[in-house]
A = this chain, B = another copy of it.
């Protein structure tokens, strides 16, 4: 698993969660995060970007809803296996 810690701009006009969401989404689409691989834990993301829990969870939540990520309680958050379900629900 690779995870680039690109920058988040705290003064940017874009919400923190939105920037983080874009970063994660990018890494999935670029293939740096592969299906069924774990992404960094919520706590790690908080520390990596020095942001609080709220934007981290909002970013992940939306990516889960969009079908790009899958959470497993007590285990972690993973890149979704297939993009089928994603496009299915997006209709």
Interface of A toward B, CB cutoff 8 Å:
52, 65, 74
Q: Within the oligomer, what is the number of copies of this chain?
A: 4
List 2 A–B pairs whose Cβ atoms lie within 8 Å, in order of A's numbering: A52-B74, A65-B65
Q: Report the 2 A-B pairs with minimum CB-CB distance, sorted nearest first.
A: A52-B74, A65-B65
Distance (whole angstroms) from the CB of A61 to the closest CB of chain B: 9
Distance (whole angstroms) from the CB of A16 to the closest CB of chain B: 9
In the assembled complex, the Cα of A65 lies from the Cα of B62 at a distance in Å of 11
Query: Contacts of A52 on B, CB cut-off 8 Å?
Result: 74
Distance (whole angstroms) from the CB of A49 to the closest CB of chain B: 14
Query: Contacts of A65 on B, CB cut-off 8 Å?
Result: 65
Distance (whole angstroms) from the CB of A47 to the closest CB of chain B: 13
